[in-house]
Structure 1
Amino acid sequence: MTRPPDTYTIGQLSRLSGLPVKTIRFYSDAGVLPERDRTPAGYRLYGEADVARLELVRTLREIGVGLATIRSLGERDLRQVLDLHLRTVESQLKSLQRTRAVLRATLERGDPSEEDLRRLNTLGRIGAAERDALLDSFVAEVGGGVGAREQWLTCLREAMMPELPPEPTIEQLDAWLELVDLLSDDDYRTALRRQSEDYWDRREGGFDAKGWQETNAAVVAVVRAAIAEGVEPGTPEAAPVLDRVVALLARMHGAEDGPELRRTLARGYEEHDPRAEHQWRLVAVINGTPWPPPETIAHHWIARALGVTVPPS
């Protein structure tokens, strides 16, 4: 039986490509360069296309593309593979930059401590995939199967755990590590799920993210204007401001302004877990943004105004 035309033995392919026979055999066994046929004596045979394929495999391996990704080239085009690899490299570069920044800061501060080692260990363990998995579990557990609440949490998902900057300070890194611990805390998740359950149970029609954002922005604008004019909660001047705020919140809650709604709002502020505000404080440190933001200042004002005008239930 003669060898099929336009085929090469592994030795010939080695001479054409400059790669060792051992390497080509490894690629063939790994499935990234499948053999075309075999000679009667059992020698592997490859075709013309395999010469170019082998050059592609070598190039992809040199830039760090994994064998599993190369093996999937039959299902993806080369652009998809290179795009995937680019995103992988960029993620690795970010991770290396962060590690470099932490190492530099640690060495500049003197002898490394156990806390410094903990930072480096945690930083090495929590990459983009682990961050996404943490946020997935947080949204699912705090959402508790309530569709509207899960929609709301999904809107906040990226904001509530930002990526570390490429060159984080020790303060930013510590805030990020504390945020990881907080979002992983079962007690915190349970407290958030139980908070305002009545409100979320009433949102059977789903969560209007745009409407919520517009209402919140309007509330903050009303209160900021009052604060700028020096209006203090509990004063006569604060009453009409609170009326406008409650009217806006009433629409968002699908309720009417009245003693019951105001008691519900006041109770919500009273029972608000302080760890939730601390979570956003940590986010501000990571992002390098001022604290407190206008939204927090406005809601503190509303809480005080309700506290001095709404009788205890």
Structure 2
Amino acid sequence: MEPRHDGYTIGQVARLSGLPVKTIRFYSDVGVLPERERTAAGYRLYGEEDLARLELIRTLRDVGVDLATIRDLGERDLRQVLALQLRTVETQLKALQRTRAVLRATLERGEPSETDLRRLNTLGRLGAAEREALMDAFVGEVGGGSRAREQWLTGLREAMVPDLPSEPTIEQLDAWLELAELLSDEDYRAVLRRDDTGFWERRDRSGGERFESWCRANEEIAETVLAAVEKGVEPESAEAGVVLARVVILLSGMHGAAGDGPEFRSSLSRGYEEHDPRAVRHWQLVATIQGTPWPHPQTIAHDWIAKALRAHPAP
């Protein structure tokens, strides 16, 4: 059907789109289908772009996108709308694949238990949006108003809560669910927020440039220690004392200390002893989810430093 020179009537659009007139009128009334013009008699007129948008609206509704989200798309470029549609479909496919994998693994293990049912229930409630909300809350609360700490946490955001693989094992799913519970734990958040408050306050005062130098120093510490570990240097050995001295100098710069000395080494050692084991468990769960080796290189490095500090309390 050819359009009239001034556009399609709502009846023509209904026939071309296959949607009822009431539905098209509803979409127009709620702003999902922007109104463009009317005839002198007050009848709505539609164009080719409206037909394309109606098809998009129907497709987005078919994959579960709510009307408020569709309305907020406004007059965005069609490519942006299609990209949103693609991300929506991919997210749903991933969720279905995970559910399928868990159902299959559950059935293969024999008679389903209460734990299996609870796992499936939790999986259904922790989608991508819930994960993002969880991380928003975690970064905001643990950051505690410190710009430097929030910057650090934001950089680690994806690493701290990795996405599940499309076909997760039961072990990976359990690790992911435990991690979600851990990040929601108010006491864990409070401990992380209290840890090294003075350190992060100094980072705030020093600004972004000093923060970058802190990151570089942290990397150098890990590289130095891991090289010693690779050579088989035991933390209690005399050779370890030389490595530790270099590490402590780097740490003193990061912590704003005067330099190496018994008092500073004692404070470092005390920090390692008081470190919340849940933080180590956090990264162990991440490794399980990602299927990467454990312990992590950073964990190996800091475990070596803690042992070396006990063996060499003074320079």
Structure-2-length-normalised TM-score? 0.86
* Matching residue of 2:45: 47
Q: 2:195 and 2:46 mapped to 1: Cα distance?
A: 67
Q: 2:252 and 2:238 mapped to 1: Cα distance?
A: 22
Q: 1:186 and 1:150 mapped to 2: Cα distance?
A: 17
Larger mean CA deviation between 224-233 and 17-26 belongs to 17-26
Q: Say what the alpha-carbon RMSD is for the aligned residues.
A: 2.6
* Matching residue of 1:291: 294
Summarize the Cα distance change of 1:241–1:97 in structure 2 as closer, same or farther, 3 Å threshold: same
Q: CA deviation at 1:233?
A: 2.0
1:189-214 deviation line (CA, Å, top 9, x unaligned): 11111222232233222354533332
Q: CA deviation at 1:16?
A: 5.0
SS of match in other structure, 2:166: coil
Q: Report the residue type matching 1:47 in the other structure.
A: L
Contact 1:238 1:305 in 2 (8 A): yes
* Matching residue of 1:217: 219
Q: Report the residue type matching 1:248 in the other structure.
A: L
Q: CA deviation at 1:58?
A: 2.9
Larger mean CA deviation between 98-107 and 199-208 belongs to 199-208
Structure-1-length-normalised TM-score? 0.87
Q: Report the residue type matching 2:313 in the other structure.
A: V
Summarize the Cα distance change of 1:181–1:15 in structure 2 as closer, same or farther, 3 Å threshold: closer
Q: 1:16 and 1:97 mapped to 2: Cα distance?
A: 36
* Matching residue of 2:267: 264
Given the alignment of the two structures, is residue 302 of structure 1 paired with residue 305 of structure 2, yes or no? Answer: yes
Q: 1:224 and 1:35 mapped to 2: Cα distance?
A: 65
Q: 1:226 and 1:56 mapped to 2: Cα distance?
A: 62
Larger mean CA deviation between 103-112 and 19-28 belongs to 19-28
Larger mean CA deviation between 193-202 and 62-71 belongs to 62-71
Q: 1:229 and 1:7 mapped to 2: Cα distance?
A: 78
Contact 1:32 1:70 in 2 (8 A): yes
* Within-5 A mapping of 1:242-257: 242-255=244-257, 256-257=259-260
1:43-68 deviation line (CA, Å, top 9, x unaligned): x623252x651353035413535544
Q: CA deviation at 1:304?
A: 0.6
* Matching residue of 2:161: 161
Summarize the Cα distance change of 1:271–1:106 in structure 2 as closer, same or farther, 3 Å threshold: same
Q: 1:137 and 1:211 mapped to 2: Cα distance?
A: 28
SS of match in other structure, 2:254: helix
Task: Structure 1: give runs of 5+ residues left out of the alignment.
Answer: none
Contact 2:9 2:45 in 1 (8 A): no
* Within-5 A mapping of 1:232-247: 232-247=234-249
Q: CA deviation at 1:218?
A: 1.8
Q: 1:82 and 1:201 mapped to 2: Cα distance?
A: 44
Summarize the Cα distance change of 1:157–1:71 in structure 2 as closer, same or farther, 3 Å threshold: closer
Summarize the Cα distance change of 1:100–1:209 in structure 2 as closer, same or farther, 3 Å threshold: farther
1:58-102 deviation line (CA, Å, top 9, x unaligned): 354135355445444543121221111211111111111111111
Q: Report the residue type matching 1:240 in the other structure.
A: V
Q: CA deviation at 1:38?
A: 7.0
Q: 1:37 and 1:146 mapped to 2: Cα distance?
A: 54
Q: Report the residue type matching 1:205 in the other structure.
A: S
Q: Report the residue type matching 2:50 in the other structure.
A: R
Q: 1:184 and 1:194 mapped to 2: Cα distance?
A: 16
Q: 1:141 and 1:93 mapped to 2: Cα distance?
A: 32
* Within-5 A mapping of 1:118-133: 118-133=118-133
1:94-120 deviation line (CA, Å, top 9, x unaligned): 111111111111111111111111111
Larger mean CA deviation between 169-178 and 120-129 belongs to 120-129
Q: 2:110 and 2:213 mapped to 1: Cα distance?
A: 52
Q: 1:90 and 1:139 mapped to 2: Cα distance?
A: 26
Q: CA deviation at 1:261?
A: 1.7
Q: 2:102 and 2:177 mapped to 1: Cα distance?
A: 13
Identity of aligned residues (%): 64
Summarize the Cα distance change of 1:149–1:62 in structure 2 as closer, same or farther, 3 Å threshold: closer
1:149-175 deviation line (CA, Å, top 9, x unaligned): 222222222211111111111000000
* Matching residue of 1:89: 89
Q: CA deviation at 1:24?
A: 3.2
Q: 1:14 and 1:221 mapped to 2: Cα distance?
A: 67
Summarize the Cα distance change of 1:53–1:73 in structure 2 as closer, same or farther, 3 Å threshold: farther
Paired residue total: 304
Q: 1:5 and 1:220 mapped to 2: Cα distance?
A: 71
* Within-5 A mapping of 1:75-154: 75-154=75-154
Q: 2:241 and 2:162 mapped to 1: Cα distance?
A: 38
Contact 1:7 1:45 in 2 (8 A): no
